[in-house]
Structure 1
Amino acid sequence: MSTTDFSDSDMDIDPLDEVFSEAAGHLQTIHHSIEVTDLLEIYGLYKQATVGRCNTQKPSIFNMQNRSKWCAWNDLGEMSCAEAKCLYIEKVQKVDTNWQPKHKISNKQTSSIGWVVHSIPQRQDDTDQKEEHEKNAFDYIKEGNLVQLQKTLTSEALELLDENGMGLIHWATDRNAAEILKHLIANGADVNFRDSEQQTALHYAASCGHVECIRILLDANADPSIKDADGKSCLDAADNTDIYELLKFDLN
């Protein structure tokens, strides 16, 4: 058989791309039986594999489905497309242990891009790349490090917004860090402090479904009637009926 029997596209096909396509096709036949958390991880990996680093704006806090998908993608940071493809394939194999791809990937190719990775951190923050002396109160809240936060917290920091337009109290609530939230309030944090979109910590707690944080904030006299820049209160952001009723009861 002569070389003219093969098209250029056939000769250029990457085995990793072939298996990735197989995995994506198989996923379409089983997606209805996959847990939401797994689907979010798979979505993030697919976007990272096909597009690269997240390049879209974070959706509104009131669009929680798209916001969750955005976070799943954005949390992958600078992960290479090749590694994302490998992790995507591995994840599909985990959710359906009976599936095996028809094509094979060479050991050399998979080992060079970190195939042996069995989990993805929930969040990949810049704190992982900072030296200890470079960290501040925001970093310690992201890490959930109450001990170091107690050593570094200042009254000035309580009034700051970071590059994401969030204050310390917003980060503590976003991370569902109840003890840290209590510490911030005990040290003078304004429970009605607003982020760059005029949302309070109650907006965050309501949209994320963080009941304990909601109770802590309400006990500290947080105002559930406060509206953000779009005219929405935390009741509009309520994750479910129980949370809505909890907030509405306090409002009344």
Structure 2
Amino acid sequence: MSTSDFSDSDMDIDPIDEVFSEAAEHLQKIHNSIDSTDLLEIYGLYKQATCGRCNTQKPSVFNMQSRSKWCAWNDLGEMPSEEAKRLYIEKVQKLDSTWQPKQKLGDKQKSSPGWVVHSIPQRLEEADQKEHEKNAFDYIKEGNLIQLQNALSSEIMEILDENGMGLIHWAADRNAVDILKHLIENGLDVNFRDSEQQTALHYAASCGHIECIRILLNANADPSIKDADGQSCLDVADNSDICELLKS
């Protein structure tokens, strides 16, 4: 079958998907300035937009962080995916009135699917989480290398958390340079993949964390690895400088 067998309409990308991806990417730049209530709302809308109705069991009352996120998603009920995307976009615009998407709703353009950073914004963690409830993942999110060293064990070095991310993905996502070095020095596979087959290099490239990229490349991270959507870290790179670094 040749490309001529497809009409232009077959290749049109729904503009709302384009703007939704832009909004999700922009959120990563501003999430540190957003309070936890708004972040929970944003999280629920994102899950509803990308996964549909909540389809997971309610977490235990002893896991308040996961329980809060589950409730934010579950409360949206049968809301259609497109409506959730529109509300997500409106929420990001409300949180940052200076942001304007490149793609306008109502327009159509041809484009390949984009890769959206899916990690949970940093301040979504429960502010009142008790110290004895924390684990290695929590310490990475906090950037607490000392506590991580005490909590780190071979059993959790290559497991995925509730968000489908491993320790190394969180370190790259948070730009936690010292923690990333520590994980690699302790034998964590630099090419370890998350639930969407993305490596830490995907995260660092997408977020624009140059020092993390250098650390990963020096540890022989493979920039040619492709995720579940067939995209390499070069495909999701934040800018041309990062692309050049990855190529070198």
1:164 aligned onto 2:154: no
**Structure 2 unaligned blocks of 5 or more:** 1-25, 51-67, 73-92, 99-120
> Structure 2 length normalisation: TM-score?
0.55
**Contact between 1:137 and 1:153, CA under 8 Å: does it hold in 2?**
yes
| Gap change, CA 1:151 and 1:248, over 3 Å in 2 | same
Instruction: Report the Cα distance in structure 2 between the residues aligned to 1:211 and 1:236, rounded to whole angstroms.
Output: 16
Which residue of 2 is the match for residue 55 of structure 1? Answer: 45
State the one-letter code of the partner of 1:186: E
Q: Structure 1 residue 123: deviation in Å?
A: 3.1
**RMSD of aligned alpha carbons:** 3.7
Residues 56-81 of structure 1 deviation map (CA, whole Å, 9 limit, x = unaligned) = 33989xxxxxxxxxxxxx99x97xxx
How far is the alpha carbon of 1:154 from its aligned partner? 0.6
Q: Which residue of 1 aligns with 2:135?
A: 136
- Specify every segment of 5 or more residues in structure 1 that has no aligned partner in the other structure, as ranges: 1-35, 61-73, 79-87, 96-121
Q: CA deviation at 1:91?
A: 8.5
Displacement after TM superposition at 1:130 (Å): 2.1
User: Do 1:127 and 1:139's aligned partners in 2 also have CA atoms closer than 8 Å?
Assistant: no
Aligned length: 159
Please tell me whether the aligned partners of residues 197 and 229 of structure 1 are also in contact (alpha carbons under 8 angstroms).
Answer: yes
Name the SS of the counterpart of 1:154 in structure 2.
coil
Inter-partner Cα distance in structure 2 for 1:123 and 1:238? 21
Structure of higher CA gyration radius: 1
1:8-27 alignment runs, 5 A limit: none
8 Å CA contact 1:127–1:143 kept in 2: the answer is no
1:183 aligns with 2:182: yes
User: Matched residues in 2 for 1:178 and 1:58: separation?
Assistant: 33
Matches within 5 A, 1:192-203: 192-203=191-202
8 Å CA contact 1:127, 1:135 repeated in 2: no
Whether the aligned pair in 1 keeps the contact of 2:143 and 2:176 (CA below 8 Å) is yes
Q: Which runs of 4+ in 1 moved over 4 A?
A: 88-92
> Which of 1 and 2 has higher RCO (CA within 8 Å, sep 6+)?
2
Q: Give the deviation of 1:161 after TM superposition.
A: 0.2
